[in-house]
Structure 1
Amino acid sequence: MRYSSQVKPISYLKANAAEVLATLTEQREPLVITQNGEAKAVLQDVASFEATQEALALLKILALGNQDIAAGKVKPVSDVVARLRAKRDAT
């Protein structure tokens, strides 16, 4: 996605806030806000933000898992299943 088509100055945001929010929700594309010709912020709809946060959380979990593997902090799945079954049977 090219963000160059979704760039607006802050004055546009001030004058058209309701329209900008409706467009963000409808198109689900981020909007780059500029001030004095420089990119200063990115606006996006809530659903896209939440999806991004969930994706980042999953990536963090994967990175932590890879660190555990690299550090040798792993157990055979058969051991884990056996331990879970033992706990289940104990209750």
Structure 2
Amino acid sequence: MVPQPLVITQNGGAKAVLQDVASYEATQETLALLKVLALGQQEVSAGKIKPMSDVVARLKAKKAQA
């Protein structure tokens, strides 16, 4: 069973949320992943992309030099 967050209210309005550490960490990891995806989408929209064949060729050349 996943622990549910506890909403703390004041005068009938939500003021704070209390959640367990594991849920908090999972939320932070999800937010970080969403940020990476959003940044990637911005780069695609800005045209900062390269053909996959170019990337693979560059990686193979780098590996051959090592």
Assess same fold via TM > 0.5. yes
TM-score, normalised to structure 2's length? 0.91
Q: Residue by residue, what CA displacement relative to the aligned partner does 1:1-49 show, whole Å, maximum 9, x if unpaired? A: xxxxxxxxxxxxxxxxxxxxxxxxx641111011233211000011111
User: Where does the alignment leave 5 or more consecutive residues of structure 1 unmatched?
Assistant: 1-25
More helix, by proportion: 1
Q: State, as a whole percentage, how many aligned pairs show the same letter.
A: 71
Give the CA RMSD over aligned residues: 1.2
**Relative contact order, CA 8 A, sep 6+: which one is greater?**
1
2:31 to 56, 60, 67: 56
Q: Give the letter for the 1:74 counterpart.
A: I
TM-score, normalised to structure 1's length? 0.68
Runs (4+) of structure 1 exceeding 4 A deviation are none
Number of residues of Structure 1 aligned to a counterpart in Structure 2:
66
Q: Which residue of 1 aligns with 2:41?
A: 66
Max radius of gyration: which structure? Answer: 1
| Secondary structure at 2:47 match in 1 | coil
Q: Give the letter for the 2:24 counterpart.
A: F
Q: Which residue of 1 aligns with 2:11?
A: 36
Q: Which residue of 2 aligns with 1:17?
A: none
Q: Give the letter for the 2:57 counterpart.
A: A
